[in-house]
Chains A and B, each alone.
Chain A
């Protein structure tokens, strides 16, 4: 089944909002517009770091959109409650404070757990992540493919996990929050290619 057939609303409430992207390569990313990253991180730098994610996502969106590509963003409040607002509030906040963003946003979803959206169940599939940015990497549990809570490392550990989806709706490649869209070198123990390399290859 194509991922694009999974029902989900746009952030403005439009039903089946993924269907128009059937046939396109997309980069699906769980986002939070108020990401703090670290309790000790300042408000100033938290905003700068969130800008950095959105800015680089917008850059790849612009670079590849004429080849049949789009970034698709899915707000999520599961990581340090950094996306607490309603869809309307999130949309207004993005427009006011990240005015350079033009790629589409979808309704707020859970990406892990009992209420996780079927889209993210499909994106995660049964694949283990290439690596984890949690302490689980070093643990015995990690060697068994679990994090310290015994959950599969397939879970999304952070905002800005990135999934590249083919035009026929298959998840092709997964990237960590630290894999920035404009990275020029693949991260060690990462997906083996950069996001731009992956897009260039998949788009042909």
Chain B
């Protein structure tokens, strides 16, 4: 009896909280969300980088919500390399084919459209909360076995964190949850308003993209003004050690953070210097731990100021203390772009590139390739290749190609154990990509192809017989069932 009373009280309290939070009852709220939460099925290529000509497919279910103009917004995760996307409303019944209208992997957001008008019958666009609450209770909404599952979440805080598919930091809503299997773009709601889309879960903590960011990006996309997400391409350290500020001769109160290193981005000239004390960004004072006082959300890390009303290419005013003087400068936000990395973090929507010559398989060095070594790839992959992840690209040396494997053939006898070797030159030409390699192989030296690897590799050089190369390549393609000897760019295999 006592337990019954206790449960009844809890239910009453929960109903009261929901009523206060959203102005509607829990039941009404759930019912209204059933016309906005969509189940998404994404089927996509799964590439095997150790055999880049291999293809497999995999399907995943995730979620999205209806937004204006008959579209669905969801996270970009698991929509890369997709072959078909289907959507389902009401958690059961017919599936409808959907198309990607827009996707941005750094922002981790995508918009889907569905041509079949029948799909949109009865669906309602969501309302975005702005500002969002940063404490209190929220609910997670997703379809589960034909019913809309509504589960309790506790809002912890708004913080900056690494975007799920990128190397940039974006605002994230951190939530406590006892629910399992979260992170598939489930709707996080308070009352009848969306406050976020989930992106990941680590034990009882899960993260969500806050709805204000979704809303801002959506608005820019609708206006055709979205230029991509910008970021601060520099590292900084806290100025908690007063000796560091004294050394840099900053007068007055301890404040600001110290720039320690600039990340090279091709085509971007940074106006910041190492040992600058960053005092003000976009009009906000920076404290010694790197936070500013956000008008809506209180203390947030300064990286938020790269996306707070700004996009790639925008100027952001900054004030720094440099060599004994206050300096005002204008920082232009570089665009987050995998192609600007020496070893790209990702190459979504592209099959693995490769060039096979005489059984020697060459591939661009990318993080997806390194991830082929498994979950602990940073420890398991060859040290020299992993080390190249931290190399800054230059105009002359923007990227790297590796000899990833040798498919045994009489032509390459003696080389069959060579693999994971970073390429330097071919026939005297510096090689930084596969088109360059292909071109270099067109100019053999006195009947030989001279393939040189970077200093420190297990072997320095390989020699191939140039006149015999074409026949050997054809033979290897036949024997190992390769559909082609050259895949570059977004073109898929024949």
- Do A and B interact? no
